[in-house]
């Protein structure tokens, strides 16, 4: 297991890695639908909404066009979903104010059970910052909502693309005044860590149930795998860093 | 007195407004000089160093050339000061490592006595973020050193110029997803507030001893002056916001 001794800053993916987007958004959808007496599989609705976001950000990361603000992107996907078909009745029930409020459900996501304790412990040992495709205001609101103690909030918005475009990772390292190998990317998605490793960053994989689209078994280099460290929680990562000394 | 009711985010100048640069840097200079047995007026040294920074950032803000990283700028000014004349003996005593360490004195500034308590109280009521000419790494290190609980760290570095260039203020508002009139700039320097007001932001003047280059008497609009609010501390500002409700 790598000791990450030269890592001065940990950069965190946020959706799915730090916060439970699926549980939080599903709960908001259920509450909203209940008010209007509309039934549906809201866990599936949340997944479809999220899938639209993943497709759109991937397109921009590869050089294609599209909104750079995730707030704008989330709203467009929501409006498209509500226009016709399965969710039309829900769409008819939601006026513009209700849609604007629902769209900000992505600002009100809750952390995983270990997130706050783990981040507070890590913050004593290194710089901790977001490196998310979410826009800055979204990440700030979420930090206030979920008590996340970031030293800085970095968003792909600052660098004119989305992860996994290399310029997002390099931009964060530059503003930290660090070489990439002095930074570690922390994520529950292997595509994110592959891109970080591609520019020379160290990698920490966090296993979060349901976050990988397909069944992947990610292993540390010490076991023949491709990432530096694999953990089940941020508290485990903090304990690992304490023990390296 | 304006009630700042529509302000959702407070943007803070940092050097002199949040932290006591003169006291902190003078103490580091005194400690360093003592090790080498060199005497001098270290309060004056600190002021000359700071003046070089102000001249350089002003030049860039007006469209001229120069480094966009304050770390690089501080080091260049330091090396120039140590090359000859009054401070040459001090320069001869400092090897490159010692100079690099001394240059980071600007990352280790202490807050004014009311800074932490005031910012913690303000953070419960609104977004609080830096808007400084200091580079991001400097602002992050300082926040860790002085326990400053920022929601986000904005630096002019992100916007390709320095304050008082309007694009710095407009860039911060954009990333906050706010109109300028929903933001307030907080500073101990009237030139900074005049530029913020120029793009439509609200303004809070904090009186900090020794921070204005010339004798200015800044008054609130309610007394015929040019800023929205004048306070003596962040705790006073937090109490004012609590009472507006």
pLDDT at residue B1 greater than cutoff 60? no
pLDDT above 90 as % of chain A: 88
What pLDDT, on the 0 to 100 scale, is given for residue B215?
73
Query: Mean pLDDT throughout A191-220?
Result: 91
B175 and A152: CB-CB below 8 Å?
Answer: no
pLDDT at residue A123 greater than cutoff 90? yes
Q: Which residues of B touch A143 (CB under 8 A)?
A: 151
Establish whether the linkage from the previous residue to A58 is cis, with ω within 30° of 0.
no
Query: Mean pLDDT throughout B151-156?
Result: 96
Answer yes or no: are the C-beta atoms of B145 and B109 closer than 8 Å: yes
DSSP labels, B6-36: T--EEEE--BTTTB-HHHHHHHHHHHHHHHT
Give residue B96's pLDDT band: very low, low, confident or very high (50, 70, 90).
Answer: very high
Among A145, A153, A178, most B C-beta atoms within 10 A, so best to mutate, is A153
Say whether residue B132 is in contact with chain A using an 8 A CB cutoff: no
Give residue A1's pLDDT band: very low, low, confident or very high (50, 70, 90).
Answer: very low
Q: Let me know if A193 is exposed, middle or buried by CB neighbors in 10 A (0-12, 13-18, 19+).
A: buried
Q: Kindly list the distances between the CA atom of residue A170 and the CA atoms of A11, A182, B64, B91, B153, in Å, as whole numbers in the listed order.
A: 12, 12, 27, 35, 18
B152 and A144: CB-CB below 8 Å?
Answer: no
Look at phi and psi of residue B66 and say left if phi exceeds 0, alpha if psi is from -120 to 50, else beta: left
pLDDT tens string A17-71? 999 999 999 999 999 999 999 999 999 999 999 999 999 999 998 988 887 789 9
A144 and B135: CB-CB below 8 Å?
Answer: no
pLDDT at residue A196 greater than cutoff 80? yes
Collapsing DSSP to helix, strand or coil, A204 comes out as strand
| A119 min Cα distance to partner chain B (Å) | 14
Mean pLDDT value across chain A: 94
Give residue B211's pLDDT band: very low, low, confident or very high (50, 70, 90).
Answer: confident
Q: Record the tokens describing residue B37, joined without a space.
A: 């047995």
Among A100, A123, A177, most B C-beta atoms within 10 A, so best to mutate, is A177
Q: What is the C-alpha to C-alpha distance for residues A116 and A123, in angstroms, rounded to an integer?
A: 10
Q: Which domains does chain B have, with CATH numbers?
A: 9-20+109-243 (3.40.50.1000), 21-107 (1.10.150.240)
ipTM over cut 0.85? yes
A127 and B136: CB-CB below 8 Å?
Answer: no
Of A57-71, A199-213, B4-18, the one with minimum mean pLDDT is A57-71
A153 and B153: CB-CB below 8 Å?
Answer: yes
Answer yes or no: are the C-beta atoms of B232 and B207 closer than 8 Å: yes
Q: How far apart are the first and last CA of chain B?
A: 14
Say whether residue B135 is in contact with chain A using an 8 A CB cutoff: yes
Q: Tell me which residue in A135, A144, A175 faces B136 most closely, judged by beta carbons.
A: A175
Query: Mean pLDDT throughout B149-164?
Result: 95
């Amino acid at each position: 297991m790598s000791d990450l001794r030269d890592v001065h800053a940990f950069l965190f993916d946020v959706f799915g890695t730090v916060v439970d987007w699926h549980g939080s958004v599903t709960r908001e959808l259920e509450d909203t639908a209940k008010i209007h007496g509309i039934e549906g599989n809201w866990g599936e609705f949340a997944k479809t909404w999220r899938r639209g976001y993943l497709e759109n950000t991937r397109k921009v990361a590869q050089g294609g066009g599209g909104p750079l603000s995730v707030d704008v992107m989330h709203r467009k996907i929501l409006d498209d979903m509500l226009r016709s078909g399965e969710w039309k009745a829900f769409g008819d029930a939601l006026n513009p104010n209700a849609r604007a409020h629902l769209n900000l459900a992505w600002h009100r996501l809750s952390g995983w059970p270990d997130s706050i304790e783990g981040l507070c412990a890590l913050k004593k040992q290194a710089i901790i910052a977001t490196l998310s495709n979410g826009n800055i205001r979204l990440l700030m609101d979420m930090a206030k909502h979920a008590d996340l103690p970031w030293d800085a909030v970095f968003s792909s918005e600052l660098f004119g693309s989305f992860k996994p475009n290399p310029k997002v990772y390099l931009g964060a390292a530059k503003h930290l005044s660090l070489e990439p190998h002095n930074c570690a990317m922390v994520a529950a998605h292997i595509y994110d860590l592959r891109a970080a490793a591609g520019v020379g960053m160290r990698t920490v994989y966090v296993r979060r149930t349901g976050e990988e689209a397909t069944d992947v078994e990610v292993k540390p280099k010490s076991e023949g795998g491709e990432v530096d460290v694999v953990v089940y929680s941020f508290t485990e990562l903090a304990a690992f860093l304490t023990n390296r000394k």
